[in-house]
Amino acid sequence: MRKQLLIIALLFGSFLQITAQVTTEWVNQPRGVSIATDASNNVYTVDWEYNPGGDITLTKRNTSGNILWQVAYNNTDVTRFEVATWVETDNLGNILVSGTIRSGFSNPVDAASILMKYDAAGNLLWRKVYESSFDGSYTKKCLVDAANNIYVLGMGTGPLGFVTKVKKFAPNGNTVWTYYDNAGIGAPVNFKFTPDKKLVITGRGIYGSVNGYAKIDLNGNNIWNYPGVFSLYVGDAAGDSFGNTYLTHQEYVFNGRGEIKKLSPSGTLIWEKFHTMVGYRVEVGSDNAAVISGFPNGGTGGAAFMKYDSNGNVLWQNLDADGPSYSLLLHAQMGLDDDNNAYLAAGTLFDMAVCKVNSNGSSAWTQTATGGFAYGFDLGTDNNVYVVGGNTAKFVQTSLFCNTPEGLFTSNISNTKARFNWTLVNGAFQYEVWGSKVNTTVWKKTLVAGSKNFLVANSLSCGTNYEWKIRAICDSIGSKVSVFSALQPFTTSACATITDAADSESATAAADKKLIITPNPAKDKVIIQHSFNKANAVFVTVYNMLGKPLINNQFPGNNTLDVSRLPNGLYMLQLTQDKNILRSKLLIQR
């Protein structure tokens, strides 16, 4: 009896945890086919009208669900209607909408592809219809990179016929390049950025049960193709920070097993593993481990998840993540948050739904809202979940009731150490501090006791740009977590110097230092002579006397460095090849 009571208590406790972690703040119309949020948690949805002359409508709500504006491009051609496919926001608060023009009504056909850009006030900045007004192309999804360039996945006519294509646009709408699939990966299904700053593409055969995958760089160059993967269901792909790619699909046999493959950066197979669940989608977290989501098996509804490490070992599986109260169908979109918790947007045929699984594989919550089905979701900067489908809704994660640390600053900076400081948060159990070199995707996480308001970071590299962020955790099980602070940048002190050539007594002594800068003092350009191996890459960095790098480039092939933008003053010039370093002082004097 005691054991039964314990099981009931555990189940009841889990139920309390699931129901207490999330609430629905609002649900309203209009519905939409895609959703995106901006830095202020304004919510953008797009929808379209299936009628002659039908338009794409973009709606902006604030985080409270109030509609701020709605805009539609006025399509005046009654023989056509326009279909929205995706919405994204860029780093400047602009909104990108991809779509497809269809011709006819009773039996419509794809006519052309559209990309539109709006500002935050709803003004149309530009609109592109490509490649012509009737080329039979269509779009599937769009993405925006850190420089606000736009990438659109779709289908179009290339050198080898009607194939998957990716088109890159500059922020002003000019075409940068167009990539056409030349390996036959099928029609476009999905594409996404990878941590190594590439794009992975998933395709599905127009005829037959076959998947295909490809990887390209952000200049439109093909890296590898992996076509002809026979599978009974549509698959997915995601990359890790080392350039590896994980693929999902299913064995091409009756009642075939689910399968996950790991490919190397060059696209060769490293390993493949099988499982009973039907894994339609895959994402890779900051821990470089792959999480798949789908159904428990080929004949059962619900939300199932599994996690693999980089060697193909199963870290955990949760084949009933939505619990006994739901049997989620219509799986639509998967994503991970900064803590590698997984989210799946789906439906119950009566309600929109999102299911969350914690990074350790335990069920977090499943939340529904009226609307019948969900097309997608987005995580706001407030860590709340915004979902769209038959309606639009906001799910509030109540674990956010923990204040973000304030009063952040960096002190005691040396060439190898720095101290991170913050103000104590009332009720904090511990703090989670993340640090990284600038422009890298690898973060180091450190836990600090809630009674402590600083962390000393050791073993840093000299003369290097770093950044850190922090959040508070207000309970022992990690269910009450604040949002992250803003990034705190700093630069370690310049590396230890050697005797400057300009301080030497003779040209012979300078030559012995194996680094000669002429002229020195300099005005606009300097010629650099060094003793490093010319066959290997050499990098040149110029620091000011505070240790801040002002020039950081690969060493020029003509041995001439442009220093015209440096103001008068004393600097440290450093050459680096592998682990070898040469340094000398440089005086700019005009």
Distance, CA of 88 to CA of 515 (rounded, Å): 50
Can you point out the beta strands (E) in 460-532?
465-473, 488-491, 515-518, 525-530
CA distance 290 to 211: 19
Residue of 420, 451, 415, 448 whose CA lies nearest to 574: 415
What are the backbone angles phi and psi of residue 18, rounded to the nearest 5°? -65, -45
Is-contact 443 286, C-beta < 8 A?
yes
Distance of alpha carbon 271 from alpha carbon 267, whole angstroms: 12
pLDDT the model gives residue 401: 64
Alpha carbon separation from 57 to 86, 332, 466, 527 (Å, rounded): 12, 21, 42, 59
- CA atoms 443, 338, 341, 34: torsion sign: negative
Rounded Cα distance, 120 and 93, in Å: 6
What strand order describes the sheet that includes 210-217? Answer: 187-193, 198-204, 210-217, 222-230
Residues of the chain with pLDDT under 70: 1-20, 398-401, 496-513
Closest CA to 82 of 38, 117, 46: 46
Taking only the tens place, the pLDDT of each residue in 63-83 is: 999 999 999 999 989 999 999
DSSP state, residue 400: G
Please give the single-letter amino acid code of residue 426: N
Q: Does domain 501-588 have CATH number 2.60.40.10?
A: yes
Query: Which regions of the chain carry the CATH code 2.60.40.10?
Result: 409-491, 501-588
Q: Which amino acid would we find at residue 326? A: Y
Cis peptide bond N-terminal to 521, omega within 30: yes
CA distance 87 to 117: 10
∠ CA 427-16-320 to the nearest 5 degrees? 120
Planar angle of CA 189, 191, 192, nearest 5 degrees: 150
Q: What is the C-alpha to C-alpha distance for residues 119 and 430, in angstroms, rounded to an integer?
A: 40
| Residues facing residue 178 across a β-bridge | 167
In the prediction, which pLDDT does 399 show? 53
Count of Cβ atoms closer than 10 Å to residue 3 Cβ:
7
Q: Which two tokens stand for residue 340?
A: 């590698």
Question: H or E element: which one contains 20?
Answer: helix 2-20
Note the pLDDT tens digit of each residue in 277-334.
Answer: 999 999 999 999 999 999 998 878 999 999 999 999 999 999 999 998 898 999 999 9
Contact (Cβ atoms closer than 8 angstroms) between residue 148 and residue 90? yes
Amino acid at 212: G
Arch. (CATH architecture) of 409-491: Sandwich (2.60)
> How do strand 430-437 and strand 444-449 relate by DSSP bridges?
antiparallel
